[in-house]
């Protein structure tokens, strides 16, 4: 096994490219590894974080005429962007998708999709074999069962993939709060999609902006 360690192993927005795969109604209907609304929320958060950091994002579906369109929570983040509709189950066998990824010139490939054990595992394992640095966003993906999700993760780790959650990806892209432009955009994403962390931030802002009562001397 090749260990991922050292500063160079961390994600960098200027080297990252995100591929969101098959976040469609048919697939979501049989996601049982996660609460479905959580998958929608986390994927939307990941998409917005990618946009905030200027990370190229490829959107793709499989036979959308039958499986349904990509979630609007994703397409609304990238208005007007083409969603590549495939017939191939394995996204990494679709030349149009792979050519778009390669055209970015980036090697940190980040993948999330439905289902983990099929439409995430196949391209991740193939891309790893072709020398790509692959990260799978586990909580913006989902499988037909908890077992299927866990086994797929184990399989991809054995092949050399890196596993992360969406908020960890966003934090790694940020890396330094001195990146103020991105920090403002990321804070907006956190407020909308990071659950308790977003609410805690809003509370902190409330406290900071609440005047301290003057006490009579």
User: What are the boundaries of each domain within the chain?
Assistant: 12-172
Position 198 scores a pLDDT of: 67
**CA–centroid distance for 162 within its chain:** 13
Length of the chain in terms of residues written: 217
Tokens of 149: 């999700």
Which one is the CATH code of 12-172: 3.40.50.300, 3.40.50.850, 3.90.1150.10, 3.20.20.80?
Answer: 3.40.50.850
Question: pLDDT band at residue 201, thresholds of 50, 70 and 90?
Answer: confident
Question: pLDDT band at residue 195, thresholds of 50, 70 and 90?
Answer: confident
**CA–centroid distance for 27 within its chain:** 17
Share of the chain above pLDDT 70, in %: 98
- pLDDT tens sequence across 15-31: 999 999 999 999 999 99
Distance of alpha carbon 116 from alpha carbon 93, whole angstroms: 17
Distance of alpha carbon 109 from alpha carbon 88, whole angstroms: 19
Nearest to 70 by CA among 85, 91, 92: 85
Interval 110-134 mean pLDDT: 98
- pLDDT tens sequence across 30-75: 999 999 999 999 999 999 999 999 999 999 999 999 999 999 999 9
Nearest to 130 by CA among 159, 152, 169, 158: 159
CB 67 within 8 A of CB 61: yes
- Residues marked active site are found at 119
């Amino acid at each position: 096994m090749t260990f991922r360690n050292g500063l160079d192993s961390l994600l960098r927005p200027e080297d990252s490219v995100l591929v969101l795969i098959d976040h469609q109604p048919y697939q979501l209907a049989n996601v049982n590894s996660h609460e479905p609304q959580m998958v929608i929320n986390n994927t939307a958060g990941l998409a917005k974080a990618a946009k905030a950091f200027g990370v190229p994002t490829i959107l793709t579906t499989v036979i959308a005429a039958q499986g349904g369109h990509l979630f609007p929570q994703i397409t609304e983040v990238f208005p007007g962007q083409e969603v590549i509709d495939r017939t191939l189950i394995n996204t990494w066998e679709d030349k149009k998708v792979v050519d778009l990824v390669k055209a970015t010139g980036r090697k940190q490939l980040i993948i999330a999709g439905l289902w983990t054990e099929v439409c995430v595992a196949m391209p991740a394992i193939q891309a790893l074999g072709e020398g790509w640095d692959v990260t799978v966003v586990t909580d913006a993906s989902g499988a037909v069962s908890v077992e299927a999700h866990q086994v797929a993760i184990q399989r991809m780790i054995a092949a050399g993939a890196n596993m992360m959650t969406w908020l960890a990806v966003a934090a790694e892209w940020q890396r330094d709060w001195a990146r103020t432009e991105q920090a403002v955009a990321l804070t907006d994403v956190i407020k909308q999609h990071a659950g308790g962390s977003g609410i805690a931030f809003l509370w902190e802002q409330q406290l900071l902006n609440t005047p301290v009562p003057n006490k009579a001397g």
